Chains A and B, each alone.
Chain A
């Protein structure tokens, strides 16, 4: 399905639970827009700190206020991630997380929720080694709606982006402060679902962005696309979420701050405790209130 077809699919009235893939993402952003607010997009690493705890936390995200769920596929060498998400990936790998178990996690989530979009985020090598066609088929069957693969720029679109679009999965691209007006159309060409604007030059979980500049960047991107624009990198609390929502963003992405909540709740051996689940879910609740306050 092309980006254009995806938009047409989204224009049809969404039946709860009926839409999948690109259409499920479009339906959710449209619903948030109808409520006059930005979507809350949460990121957690699959299998962090272990598979069962991870299933429990991710299953509880929609009720706590997450509108779109990004699930990180752990990788040994996450070149674009800061210390928080690097450590989350290593915790998950140590606990035995694999690509197959990440898809199993999505399947378990889909047993209880058919409306919340699931985006898998990570690096290309584990997908490449799994086999691109097999991965896309298995991901689609598990209930995945989109992919963010950090190390696949438009120059490498034939590797995964085009096959993913053909399989009905959105390939969500990152736009950054270095993506100028010449390059932006290249980045947006095969993007579907939404555009992920990385608000800083840097790695995940680092500096908090200058919200004034974020507003200008969103306006610039929106001149090139009708897709929703979600903003991430450096959003740590409800106040930041409200500030980003107020810039006109269609979505606010929070990752490292949630992952930090997991880390802070673990016992001395890095295992989940009774506090882990609520530590994450309570922050998601605060962020959801922040997103809603942003446009109030």
Chain B
């Protein structure tokens, strides 16, 4: 069928010397990645590559970034031992006649300014845009977390901001639309195609191709054309770098496993990347399985997709037999994308990361469990990761250290969850008082 079926890919099974050396000079991670964009954009893409390479080598850039991360974003974010969740899952294991139950830590990215990990990347790109003399910032957003982070940094630095958002998502996520507008951004509801995140990304690229001189495109995840996947990963790697230090300080050794949810996969890549060459650390990514992979109503590009080319890169995509992109489905608007970052696609091909999935129902149950046990309301996106923790942790010994990326807070999801569970929590399936 495809010219490169994934099992036949030359990269499959081939073990590189380092899992952290990608991408190559062409922006490839094995089969994936690349620069599949219109000619009008190529000079801009090369300009961005050069500017990023220069900034990356400039200590001043990093020093300024560090300052803003500390005083504006609120980093480092804590690494929190989730004692009651740990005890709850150990109690469950004991009931099942087992002695296990990993020690669970949460990396609290939801405590960042604007409420998610998105701000780590946006800060970096906005500083780069300023360095390049760009005054107008465009962005795409699904749930609105990346849009809010972009609008926030544009307000902070006095830049013009235009956010493209699928018309369907504008309706679903009104509070975030209002937040962006309060921050001075122009929110453009995208009426083309399926009117969701992928169409917002198409529209942002149409804007960029039109306003080439003035505009910086701030992509929100580890996807798009090279250098975005690598650049966004580098900005997000602060998650994993801090986790490494914090875990060494708390436990005197590296964690045994990492787990994070994946839409495009930026919070996951940020946590995973600094640990890729530590073979003793097991790594799990969790895609959104929606109503279940077999239902066809899901957003799990690795579990249910094939390699294809969209939005500037080759990666696993949800599509039909003719190569037409199909719509993703997830309870969580932030995971509702028919692709995945190309580095994740490669890490799947080479087998370094285990990609799992969690359904809408599992995520909703995990959302409630964490809220009740830890007093932390997670976003629906990381609730998918928590769902797999609930399954995996009891199978591990008690000295197993597991880190979950709590990528965002759930305030934005409260109206949606209230609608699903009923205002009196009649549909409550969490029920854990432990």
Contact = CB atoms under 8 A, between A and B. Distances in A.
Interface stretch (B75-83, B268-276, B303-311, B399-407): B303-311
A77 B198 contact: yes
B325 interface: yes
Contact of B202 (A79, A150, A201): A79
Contact of A203 (B2, B193, B210): B210
B34 interface: yes
Given A152-B36, A153-B38, A203-B206, A132 B3 contact: yes
A173 B39 contact: yes
Give the secondary structure class of A's interface: loop
Contacts of B36: 124, 151-153, 156
A201 B323 contact: no
Interface string A173-206: 1111111100100010000000000100111001
Contacts of A203: 206, 209-210
A216 to B, nearest CB: 18
B1 A151 contact: no
Contact of B323 (A86, A130, A174): A130
Tell me which of B39, B41, B210, B310 has the highest count of chain A C-beta atoms within 10 A of its own C-beta: B39
Contacts of B319: 125, 129
Contacts of B206: 79-80, 82, 202-203
A288 B324 CA distance: 34
A32 interface: no
A150 B39 CA distance: 8
A134 B322 CA distance: 14
B209 A99 contact: no
Given A80-B206, A86-B193, A125-B319, A131 B39 contact: no
Given A86-B192, A202-B209, A203-B206, A179 B43 contact: yes
B138 to A, nearest CB: 14
A77 B323 contact: no
Contact of A76 (B26, B205, B324): B324
A128 B309 contact: yes
Contacts, number: 128
B38 A202 contact: no
A77 B309 contact: no
Contacts of A206: 210
Interface in A53-101: 74-80, 82-83, 86, 90, 93, 98-99
B324 A187 contact: no
B39 to A, nearest CB: 5
Interface string B186-202: 00000011100011001
Nearest to A200: B210
A175 B39 CA distance: 7
Contacts of B42: 153-155, 178, 183
Interface in A250-287: none
B193 A77 contact: yes
Contact of A131 (B1, B34, B40): B1
Nearest to A86: B192
A215 interface: no
Give the secondary structure class of B's interface: mixed
A209 interface: no
B323 A125 contact: yes
B3 A79 contact: no
Given A77-B325, A176-B40, A206-B210, A129 B1 contact: yes
B39 A187 contact: yes
B35 interface: yes
Contacts of B37: 151, 153
A77 B36 CA distance: 13
Given A86-B192, A129-B323, A178 B308 contact: no
B43 to A, nearest CB: 5
Nearest to B39: A174
Contacts of A77: 193, 198-199, 202, 310-311, 325
Interface residues of A, number: 47
A79 B193 contact: no
Interface string B13-46: 0000000000000100000001111111111100
Contact of B324 (A82, A126, A177): A126
A127 interface: yes
A174 B212 CA distance: 16
Contacts of B39: 153, 173-176, 178-179, 187, 198
A127 B3 CA distance: 10
B3 A98 contact: no
A133 interface: yes
B51 to A, nearest CB: 16
Interface in B312-334: 312, 314, 317, 319, 321-325
Contacts of B194: 76
Contacts of B309: 123-125, 128, 151
A173 to B, nearest CB: 7
Tell me which of B1, B2, B192 has the highest count of chain A C-beta atoms within 10 A of its own C-beta: B192
A12 B35 CA distance: 38
Given A83-B192, A126-B322, A155-B26, A174 B3 contact: no
Nearest to B324: A76
Interface in A120-150: 123-133, 150
Contacts of B314: 128
B337 to A, nearest CB: 12
A180 B2 contact: no
Given A77-B325, A80-B209, A99-B322, A128 B40 contact: no
Contacts of A74: 324
Which 8 pairs across A and B sit closest by C-beta, in order of nearness? A129-B323, A126-B323, A202-B210, A176-B40, A151-B36, A76-B325, A125-B323, A80-B38
7 contacts: A77-B325, A129-B308, A131-B2, A151-B312, A174-B39, A178-B40, A201-B211
Interface of A: 74-80, 82-83, 86, 90, 93, 98-99, 123-133, 150-156, 173-180, 183, 187, 198, 201-203, 206
